[in-house]
Amino acid sequence: MRSITFIKFVHNLLFIVMTVALAVFFYEVIVDRITFLTWAAVAGFLVEGVVLIANRWKCPLTVYAERLGSTHGRVTDTFLPKWFADRAFQIFGGLWACAMLLLAIRMLG
């Protein structure tokens, strides 16, 4: 299906999955309960990072939405406030970095 609505749906689904993964990851390192889910979250975020780097820090779904005619390419505007969507990479990146630091401390300690 080639529509902006479908792209937004897929992006929102991925956003929810990654948000839950970050929450589980953060929780598990805080309570020092490192499980398969911890490592799955780390792998998921590393893959996401590689994809973003390969696309010059732009979500491929944004690029695809622009190709389909979206004037701004934003696919996060379905349910996120603009101020949050504009800072999602910084917010989630900061939380991920904190969780990774704590994971490193847990693994070395």
| Higher pLDDT pick, 101 / 1 | 101
User: What is the per-residue pLDDT for 74?
Assistant: 60
DSSP 12-50: HHHHHHHHHHHHHHHHHHHTT---HHHHHHHHHHHHHHH
User: What is the per-residue pLDDT for 53?
Assistant: 92
Q: What is the pLDDT of residues 51-102, one digit of tens each?
A: 999 998 888 888 787 788 776 656 555 667 878 878 888 999 999 999 999 9
Q: What is the pLDDT of residues 6-47, one digit of tens each?
A: 887 888 888 899 999 999 999 999 999 999 999 999 999 999
Spans of all domains in the chain:
4-108
